[in-house]
Structure formats: structure tokens, C-alpha cells
Amino acid sequence: MSGGTRLENANPLIFQRSGERLLTATDEDEDVADPIDDREIFDLIRSINDPEHPLSLEELNVVEQMRVNVKDEESTVSVEFTPTIPHCSMATLIGLSIKVKLLRSLPDRFKIDVHITPGTHASEDAVNKQLADKERVAAALENSQLLEVVNQCLSTRTI
């Protein structure tokens, strides 16, 4: 982000972060099994960094808990994300980051589906198709420059 370049969307809307998930007594109980739920998936992806801004996807409202849908017993996860502007060129990258984060953080029994919230992006279908294609996702991660950006989005920000 050098001095000369201008951001596509320099002054985006900012949303509030939700607090940490509250601990309940059953969380501490050895014998109770906690199923993987929507909030847990949301907690995985909400802290992903935006590629352009020093903000998380949650703060930009790109991901929302109501757009996360998980069925633990059927081992499926579906996540919809909303680019901040309809022409956002970062949409694929953001989708890829979400997908990679879930691939790394969920047991491999899960089938992971990441797509754009319907009607929020100009080239929605193309992006969705790219994200759904296993081969293309794998190929993208072979590209070290792309992998670098994705890793930066997924690393905890150092202050």
C-alpha cells in the first residue's frame, strides 16, 4: 500500500465487532460434547484481515453470522460473503482466504462451500465458479504470490 496508489474504496462503512463467545458451564464439562455450530464457524472467519484495509472482514461486514450455515452431523458448511462494493476486485481473493481458513481449521470430513451473497457482486457467477472448483483452488495455492497474500490475510496482525 504505497503512498501513490489509491484504494478502490478508501472510506468504507465500518461495523461493530461482536464480543468473544461467552463460556458456559458445559464448555468446561469434560463429558459433554459441543457440536460445531454457526457461531464457531463465524469465529473462525470473522478475524480474517481485509487485503486492503487494516480491518477484519467482520468490521467491514463482509461476513456475518447469519450468512453462515453449518450442519455438523451432515458435515457440511456453507458461507456467504458480501463484497463492500459490487465491483470489488478483491472478491475472489477474499473468498479464497475464507475457503483456505476453513480448510485449515475444520476436520476433513466437512464439505466446504464458499460463495458470494446473491446479488451483491457484478461477476458473482464467475467468482463462485472459481471458488467451487477444487482444482482451481489448489492451483491458486501453488502460486506463491497468491499464497503470500492469502497468508497475510490469515495471519494474526502484529502490532
Partner 1 sequence: MAADNSVLLGLVEEFVSGQVDSKAAETATGVKTGQFTVLQLVEALGLSLTSSQPQTRGRGVQLLSQVLQECYSSLSEREVEVLIAFYENRLKDHYVITPHVLKGLKALTKCSVLPPGSAVSILKSIFQDVHVQSLMVVDRSCVYNILISLMESREEELKGLGADFIFGFVQSVDGERDPRNLLLAFQVARNIIHRGYDLGKFVEELFEVTSCYFPIDFSPPPNDPHGITQEELVLSLRAVLTGTSQFAEFLLPLIIEKLDSDVQSSKVDSLQTLAACGLTYSHKELAEFLPGLWSSVRREVFQTASEKVESAGLSALSALVSCLSRSVLNSDSEDVLQVFLNLVLKDCQHHLCEPDLKLVWPSAKLLQAAAGASYRASLIVSAAVIPALLEQYNNRTQCAQRRTLLEVLQGFVQPTALSRPADGEDSVLVAFQQSLCSVVFSALTESSAGLQVTATRVITALGQQPGLLAQTDVEKAVDHLTRLILEEDDSQVSSAVVECSGSLARLHPKGFISRMIPPLKEQILSDESSAAVRQRCVTALASVSSQLSVVQESAPALLQVLASAHTGSCGFSVEEVTAACVSLQRIALHARDSEEIGRFFQDIIIPRLLGLCLQAALQSRDSGRCSPLTDEAVLSAVVPVISTTCAALRSESASRMATQTVSLFLDGDVSFLPENAFPSKIQLLQSQTESRGPSQLVCLLMACVCSLPCSVEIPEVDRLLVQLEDLSCTCPHLFSYTFAAKCFAGLVNKRPAGEALDAVLQRVMKRIGMELENVSSAQRTQAFTLLLWVAKALLLRYHPLSTALTDKLFALLSDPALGCQVADGFGVLMSDSPDVLNRDCHADVRIMYRQRFFAENSTKLVQGFNSAEQEKKSCYLKALSHIVSNLPRQVQLTELPALLPLLLEALSCADQAVQLSTLSCLQPVLMEPPPALRNQLEALFSRLLALTTSPAMKVRIASLQCVHALSRLPEHLVLPFRARVLKALAVPLDDKKRLVRKEAVVARGEWFLLGSPGGR
Instruction: For partner 1, give the closer residue by CB, 2 or 119.
Output: 2
Interface ranges with partner 1 (CB under 8 A) = 1-4, 7, 10-14, 16, 27-28, 30, 33-34, 36, 40, 44, 53-55, 101, 104-109, 144-145, 147-152, 154-155, 159
C-beta separation of 150 from 96 below 8 A: yes
Give whichever of 14 and 126 is closer to partner 1, judged by the CB atom: 14
Nearest distance from C-beta of residue 93 to partner 1, angstroms: 12
| CB count in 10 Å sphere of residue 90 | 20
Smallest distance, Å, CB 87 to partner 1?
18
Q: Are strands 68-71 and 76-81 parallel, antiparallel or unpaired?
A: antiparallel
Is the alpha carbon torsion for 153, 79, 12, 55 positive or negative?
A: negative
